Amino acid sequence: HAPATMTGDEIVALSRQHTIFEWSAQGAVDPIPVDRAKGVYFWTPEGKRFLDFNSQLMCVNIGHGDPRVVMAIQEQAAKLPYANPFMATEVRARLGAKLAAITPGDIDCFFFTNGGAEANENAIKAARWYTGRHKILARYRSYHGATAGTITLTGDPRRWAAEPGIPGVVHVPDPYHGIQRGWDPVDDALARLEEVIQLEGAHTIAGFIIEPVTGTNGILVPPDGYLQGVRALCDKYGILLIADEVMSGFGRTGEWFAVDHWGVVPDILTMAKGLTSAYVPLGAVGLRRKVADHFRDKVFAGGLTYNSHPLACAAALATIAVYEEDGLVARARQMGEVMAGLLADLAARHVSVGAVRSIGLFGIAELIRNRQTREPMAPFNGTSPEMAALSRFFRHEGLYTFVRWNTFFANPPLCITDAELREGFEIIDRGLAAADAAVA
């Protein structure tokens, strides 16, 4: 590869001067300058190595720099980098067919977008057209994107700055209520949902959008029966179930899609991130046959200049081939068992660890500062000196992962080896010593 021509400090300074970093006051950002990446590692221009324990933004599922995907992108770029979305290309045709084969049930027709938010925007439009109803239910502990519609669907505090948002979105509570209150029994959670449906009027509700395993808001793995119960309620009231698998899809949980763990087939399934492992931006909306059939004689009133972008379709086909050739979905399941053991070990040995959760290579730890009250180490939507110190420690030690509120994540690329996984947990183990000292 070509050597960097700017230093890390120069890259950061010029980026800060002329570009906007997301979700931040610009005076406070402190980005890591990144020059190159391979496998589970990335490097700064000065050669400092980071173990990528978050697959960047939970998206580089196959790992960095896979030559099979790079070559597919190069070949497509040389042949046909772009054709407008009214055209049909071979990569578009083959990707639609491939996704029909790996997505659950009779989901077999796809609308391609640039990313997750646009996929969710088009999913709610499709649900509204299909049902002739206007409301969309979403949950509070969720993130669905940052466009006008999807930030309204989003339940977490990132929604607040965009309010009032689009009309017709109603939030319902999750079965999880934080480290102190824990989980509702499945029957209670479903009864609460059904009550909201009745109070809102089922005949006004087009869809219910959920992350089947909630990502950024806590790797919330639903108790068995919850998703099946949600599916049954949606069927009972004629509401479309929209599964947002932007983060949980493509092997992250140890199945192609998270819903596969519970045998639930949503009416609409959205994806992005792992679809191309982020080598090129791409999202998609998958429709069950009955929903797709609606658009045989009704207009699908959505479009994007970059819909079915050939470069992105080629990247997705090559990425899916890597999952298959390397058995990465099964690997996520196997390494997920190793990671669950390592997380349990942290919980057993560190008083600051109040809970750990994982499914496949989708994991999190919640820290607490009091063993009796289980007060979180940082408040809802906030931080604390201890969490900030943990974040600084990880960065200093060359471990890259998300630290959010009272939690930190473990979402490495699915190609991670046993030794690389243990390397990350060894750093975490040392980092938690300071957090333990703060526990009452």
Residue ranges binding ligand PLP (CB under 6 A): 115-117, 120, 143-145, 211, 215-216, 244, 246-247, 272
Are 353 and 369 within 8 A, CB to CB?
no
Q: Where are the alpha helices (DSSP H) in 132-211?
A: 148-153, 186-200
Shortest Cβ distance from residue 402 to ligand PLP (Å)? 11
Minimum Å distance from CB 337 to ligand PLP?
Answer: 24
Query: Cα separation of 405 and 388, whole Å?
Result: 9
- The nearer residue to ligand PLP, 230 or 346, going by C-beta atoms, is 230
State the minimum distance, in angstroms, from the CB of residue 9 to ligand PLP.
28
Characterise 174 by phi-psi region: left (phi > 0), alpha (psi -120 to 50), beta (else): beta
Exposed, middle or buried: residue 20 (CB in 10 Å: 0-12, 13-18, 19+)?
Answer: exposed
Instruction: Please state whether beta strands 169-172 and 135-139 pair in parallel, antiparallel, or not at all (unpaired).
Output: parallel
| Backbone conformation region of residue 58, classed left if phi is above 0, alpha if psi is from -120 to 50, else beta | left
Among all residues, whose Cβ is closest to ligand PLP?
116
The smaller minimum CB distance to ligand PLP, of residues 143 and 409, is found at 143
164-190 burial, b for 16+ CB within 10 Å, e for fewer?
A: ebbebbebbebbbeebeeeebebeebb
For the chain, give percent helix, strand, coil, nearest 5. Answer: 40, 15, 40
Cβ distance to ligand PLP smaller for residue 211 or 255: 211
Shortest gap between Cβ of 272 and ligand PLP (angstroms)?
A: 4
Q: SS3 string of 89-109?
A: CHHHHHHHHHHHHHCCCCEEE
Pairwise CA distance, residues 170 & 251, whole Å: 30
Mapped onto helix, strand or coil, the DSSP state of residue 37 is strand
Supply the minimum distance, in Å, between the C-beta of residue 258 and ligand PLP.
10
Residue whose CB is less far from ligand PLP, 166 or 330: 166
What is the spatial distance between Cα 168 and Cα 148, in angstroms, rounded to a whole number?
Answer: 13
Q: What are the tokens at 376?
A: 């979180």
Nearer to ligand PLP (CB atom), residue 275 or residue 368: 275
Q: How far is the CB of 202 from ligand PLP (least distance, A)?
A: 25
Residue 309 or 350 having the CB closest to ligand PLP = 309
CB of 304 to ligand PLP, least distance (A): 13
Nearest distance, CB of residue 219 and ligand PLP, angstroms: 11
The whole-angstrom separation of Cα 406 and Cα 369 is 10
Angle at 260 between CA 257 and CA 264, to 5 degrees: 115
Beta carbon of residue 379, minimum distance to ligand PLP (angstroms, whole number): 23
Whose Cβ is closer to ligand PLP: residue 120's or residue 253's? 120
Q: Which two tokens stand for residue 289?
A: 């046959």
Q: Helix H segments across 132-185?
A: 148-153
| Shortest distance, position 247 Cβ to ligand PLP, whole Å | 4
Phi, psi of 417 (to 5 degrees): -90, 165
